[in-house]
Structure 1
Amino acid sequence: MNLQKLLSYTRRAVDDYQMISPGDKIAVGISGGKDSLTLLYALRGLQRFYPNPFTIEAISIAVFKEMDLNPVKALCGELGVPYTIVPTDISEIVFKERKEDNPCSLCAKMRKGAFNEKAKELGCNKVAYAHHKDDIVETMLMSLIFEGRFHSFSPYTYLDRMDLTVIRPLLYVPEADIIGFKNQYELPVCKNPCPADGHTKREYAKNLVRQLSTEHPGAKERMFTAVINGRIPGWPEKKGKE
């Protein structure tokens, strides 16, 4: 996938759900993975021509002290995006002090809390997460299997306690295209040192979607359509042009 295709996907999602308003200051969460780096490129590219002017701030929450984020810092410098690294003790708390059997939930909660606080401190009114099309489908399956409900991420969510709006501009981008973009543009992906990486419920859902798609071609696309049209509580209706 080239940059033009990425921007087309992103523009469509932003227009369909009116994610960006004039004057928005958007914090982009950068984990160092392929998804968040692709989101950074997408919003920086969109910023150059989108009719609603907006600014962006890149933020990384340093969960693991040994993770080298210097390549991300260099990329932000090249793109002209302000970049902030927030040091934390999250990994020590989750893995050493609490020794969580299911570390992902607590880690995500603490990481989001630190990210939102820094976003507010920097004067942002919106935060952008890098959830893509496959994430939407996988989350729906996880909700069905583990929670007994039909649910998934919303294109945008207002956090009233923080007075922040979460947006997900990569809503329509398949993970396979993100992998292609990463390879074509040689994104400086940082290795994730998390000991739980690859052993999560999400990884289980990802493998299940892959199996269903192999046995029933088109299944993933149909599941995504079911989510988009499923009238999930809290999901906004499309407002862009069909």
Structure 2
Amino acid sequence: MQLQRLLSYTRKAVDEYDMIQKGDHIAVGISGGKDSLTLLYALHGLRRFYPQEFKLSAITVDLGFPDFDLTPIHSLCRELDVPYTVIKSDIYDILFHVRKETNPCSLCAKMRKGALNQAVKEMGCNKVAYAHHKDDIIETMLLSLIFEGRFHSFSPKTYLDRMDLTVIRPLMFVDEMDVIGFKNKYSLPVVKSSCPVDGHTKRQYAKELLKQLNTEHPGARERMFHAILSGNISGWPERTIRRPREQKEEQNKNGK
């Protein structure tokens, strides 16, 4: 995927869900993976021409995994002229040595997000950007249906009132295959996760299930995504821009 295409998808999300306002200071959560590095490139590129001026910083919560070398990320942020902060934590030690969790993902995510959001506030940012892409949103919906019995997924924009912080997801219209293509084309310095349960999670199950469903029923993936966008999910903001087809569908639904 070319940078221009990435920027087009990113601006679509930012415009349709009113993610960025003038004067925002946005922190990009960097895990070291392909998704977060693609998001960093996307917002760095968008900042050059977006009519609402905003500041950009990058931040990583170091979970304490052995051999987690962030040197390539430091170099990339210097190249892009984006301030980069690393927050040290004992999350790995707590999960695997103290608590000895057999299914650590949920608790890990909660602890990581807590540490990230607190650090973002201390940096003076009012928004934090997460790198969830289209496939993540669909997979989360499947997980919610299967394991929680409800139709739900990540919101494009969420205000955390207790933190006075807004979470945005500017990659929501980007396919994971496009992220992989962008990573390969631009040789992103991905830092591989050394988590012992990586690739053996419920999310990996949902990823494989989505692939199977779309293979057996071509177009199912896009239809699921459209259902999410038009599903009136609790907590989702209204879209400020709608395409003609979607406007017509809504008018027909309302009997107009």
**1:143 alignment counterpart:** 144
The one-letter code of the counterpart of 1:87 is: K
Report deviation, 1:240: 2.4
**1:160 alignment counterpart:** 161
SS where residue 173 of structure 1 aligns? coil
State how far apart, in whole Å, the 2-side matches of 1:200 and 1:241 are.
Answer: 35
Compare CA radii of gyration and give the structure with the larger one: 2
**1:7 alignment counterpart:** 7
Q: Which runs of 5+ in 1 are unaligned?
A: none
**2:254 alignment counterpart:** none
CA-atom RMSD in angstroms = 0.7
What do residues 199-225 of structure 1 show as CA deviations (whole Å, max 9, x unaligned)?
A: 000000000000001000000000000
State how far apart, in whole Å, the 2-side matches of 1:12 and 1:170 are.
Answer: 9
State how far apart, in whole Å, the 1-side matches of 2:238 and 2:191 are.
Answer: 36
State how far apart, in whole Å, the 2-side matches of 1:187 and 1:91 are.
Answer: 25
Counting aligned pairs with the same residue, the percent is 69
State how far apart, in whole Å, the 2-side matches of 1:91 and 1:140 are.
Answer: 28
State how far apart, in whole Å, the 2-side matches of 1:27 and 1:2 are.
Answer: 24
- Using the size of structure 2 for normalisation, the TM-score is 0.94
State how far apart, in whole Å, the 1-side matches of 2:12 and 2:218 are.
Answer: 25
Question: In the comparison of the two structures, how many residue pairs are matched?
Answer: 242
What do residues 134-179 of structure 1 show as CA deviations (whole Å, max 9, x unaligned)?
A: 0000000000000000000000000011100000000000000000
**2:228 alignment counterpart:** 227
Indicate yes or no: 2:17 matched with 1:20.
no
**1:78 alignment counterpart:** 79
Q: Assess, with a 3 A threshold, how the Cα gap between structure 1 residues 241 and 224 changes in structure 2: closer, same or farther.
A: closer
- Using the size of structure 1 for normalisation, the TM-score is 0.99
Asked whether the 8 Å contact 1:18–1:240 carries over to 2, the reply is no
Asked whether the 8 Å contact 1:138–1:209 carries over to 2, the reply is yes
Report deviation, 1:66: 2.5
Report deviation, 1:102: 1.3
Q: Which runs of 5+ in 2 are unaligned?
A: 244-256
Report deviation, 1:65: 4.5
